[in-house]
Structure formats: C-alpha cells, structure tokens
Structure 1
Amino acid sequence: MSSGPGVVTVRYFAGARAAAGAASEDVALPEGATVDEALALVGARHGERLSRVLRACSLLLDEVAVRDRSAPLHPGAVLDVLPPFAGG
C-alpha cells in the first residue's frame, strides 16, 4: 500500500460556502498534513475572501471541535468550516 496523498473532504457552511462558491470539495494532501495546511490550500485556491473567513471560523474535524490547527489529518477525514454567526 502506498503512502501517497490522502483525500480530505472540506465542507463549507453559511458565509464560508458563499466565499468558496461550493458546499464542499475534496482536497488531496500529503501524508501527515495538518488542518492548517488544508486551510492554506483551500484559501489559496479560492482567494482572499475565503482566506478571511478561514481566519475567523470554527472547525470540526470528523464532527469534533478542533482548536489546534496543527492537528494532523487522515485520509477520509471531514473538515467542516463554520464561520462566526451573528447572535441577538
């Protein structure tokens, strides 16, 4: 079995979806890639509007809140991007 790139699904919600222009996308990353590296890749792919959202968003990795953006990803992981929500 090769140790080539793994595919991670990035799902965008609310303003992140609008900034990315997609609800989700699959991202090929090298083995050992981190959450921060995945965010840098999609930010570069979609431009400054998404990059701004990514700096302020909350993240879920496989449905668990992740605060450490240096956390490693695994092939098949799902990374949810949740921008800040306004409240009343």
Structure 2
Amino acid sequence: MTASAHAVIELRYFAAAAQAAGRAEERLEAAGPLTLAGLREQLAGRGVEMARIISISTFLVNGLSTPADSLAPLADGDRVDVLPPFAGG
C-alpha cells in the first residue's frame, strides 16, 4: 500500500475529552500529512476546554502509547485514543 496525502483518522475520546469534544468518536479527514503533534494542535484549536484537555491527555495510536509530541506520520485508518487523566477508584 502506498502512502497517501489524504488520510482518514479515527478518533476516540474518553471521559472529559468526550465531554469537551461533544462526542465519543469521530472520523477526521486530513488533506495532507498529519502527525500526532499536528493533530493535537488541530484539536486544541477547537476551544479553551478542548485545549486544556488535550494538554493533559495521553494518546494511543492503534492501541500503542505514543508521545504527544510524536512527529511520526499518521496513516489512513489509524485510530487515535485521547485519554485524559482519570479520577476515582
């Protein structure tokens, strides 16, 4: 499979991230190359609360913990989970 400039990324939001996003999941179409760092910046631009949640969240890309500042390109069909800190016990 060849790399494409167009990718559809599946996003799943949990707990406070879902509340800030107003949904539990969405599909994001990227017109060009996209990294997790770039995705975080894009999501943070959606509003003050989303920016706050994104800044304290951890991220899984296809089930693997990934540094929030990762510059590795995301590929078509990748799944990104946004996990804010969880409280309770």
Tell me the number of residue pairs that the alignment of Structure 1 and Structure 2 aligns.
87
Question: Is residue 64 of structure 2 the alignment partner of residue 64 of structure 1?
Answer: yes
**SS where residue 80 of structure 2 aligns?**
strand
The answer to whether the 8 A contact 1:31-1:74 is kept is no
Deviation at 1:19, TM superposition (A): 0.6
Question: Is residue 23 of structure 2 the alignment partner of residue 22 of structure 1?
Answer: yes
Paired AA for residue 29 in structure 1 = A
Normalising by structure 1, we get a TM-score of 0.85
Normalising by structure 2, we get a TM-score of 0.84
The correspondence of residues 27-46 of structure 1 with structure 2, limited to 5 A, is 27-44=28-45, 46=46
Any stretches of 5+ residues in structure 1 without a counterpart?
A: none
- Runs of 4+, deviation exceeding 6 Å: none
Larger deviation: 76-85 or 65-74?
A: 65-74
Question: Is residue 55 of structure 2 the alignment partner of residue 55 of structure 1?
Answer: yes
The answer to whether the 8 A contact 1:29-1:38 is kept is no
Deviation at 1:31, TM superposition (A): 3.9
Distance 1:63 1:32, change over 3 A: same
Distance 1:28 1:85, change over 3 A: same
CA distance in 2, matches of 1:36, 1:10: 14
Q: Percent identity between the aligned chains?
A: 34
Distance 1:76 1:51, change over 3 A: same
Any stretches of 5+ residues in structure 2 without a counterpart?
A: none
Deviation at 1:2, TM superposition (A): 8.9
